[in-house]
Amino acid sequence: MTMFKAAAIQMRSGTDVGRNAMEFERMVREAADQGARYVQTPEMTGAIVRDREARAAAFTTEDRDPIAGAAARLSAELGIFVHVGSTAILRSDGKLANRAFLFGPDGRLIATYDKIHMFDVDLDKGESWRESSAYEPGDRSVVADLPIARLGFAICYDLRFPQLFRAQALAGASVLTVPAAFTRQTGEAHWHVLLRARAIENGAWVVAAAQGGLHEDGRETYGHSLIVDPWGRIVAEADHDEPAIVLADIDTEASTAAHRKIPNLKNARDFTSEVIADEPAGLRGAAS
């Protein structure tokens, strides 16, 4: 199969996992009713919680997580692929992982992916984030070979590391995924151009479900969930930060066609790097 309908669900997750799980289920059902065979939700679908103690109380292990449990049930009931963009999962070592889940139409867990790149930044206007203080980074790229497409996984800040997406494209991914909770400040500056660049560079579709709006914990996210085709064209967008569902028909043959037109993956060459110092002429041969 080369054609399927994809949905990117835009949410405004709060601090209550149970309430977010109910909204997650409602929106997944709505997307399926609109014909989506693949449904993606944003980063931190389960909850967005800044306070350390509240965060520790909100999240649990993978086998007990209500979002993962609901996704498994819904995928089987609706006969669709459900991609939980991410939720916080308590690891066996007591640390948290920012983890994505993909469930198949039979309810089976196909793949998980732990966010590799931690959002440790100091932005303008005093906005500062240290994701590594709460989460343990992953260390593996993941590509899932599905009947509908070969799917590459990423989460939010991973978007700024093109080598991850290049590795997935070289592994045959025709659809790249970037569920996110971009801040408003960084989203306004870079969200659209980075997503379009990753699509163009790799000749692949990009599906990016986003968090949007002012959250209960005081965080503000950009929204603007997007689906971008392999030529870099935005084919579907939630042009705001309110909860929404955006849908588009994905034709994986468009990825093959983009590779024929711009065969940069095939034309890439290895090279070495050299830094050459420009020594002022008057100092050449001077005694040291």
Nearest to 174 by CA among 284, 264, 250, 87: 250
Q: Rounded to an integer, what distance in angstroms lies between the CA atom of residue 241 and that of residue 227?
A: 15
How far is C-alpha 230 from the geometric centre of its chain's CA atoms?
Answer: 17
Active-site hit among 23, 43, 216, 253 = 43
What is the phi/psi pair of residue 208, to 5°?
A: -135, 95
Active-site hit among 23, 115, 237, 253 = 115
The stretches of the chain forming alpha helices (DSSP H) are: 17-33, 52-58, 66-78, 162-170, 184-186, 192-202, 253-261, 264-267
- Answer yes or no: are the C-beta atoms of 191 and 156 closer than 8 Å: no
Active site residue 115: yes
CA-based max dimension of the chain? 80
Active-site hit among 5, 23, 156, 237 = 156
Q: Rounded to an integer, what distance in angstroms lies between the CA atom of residue 123 and that of residue 129?
A: 8
Non-local (6+) Cβ contacts of 109 within 8 A are 68, 72, 101, 102, 103
Active site residues: 43, 115, 156
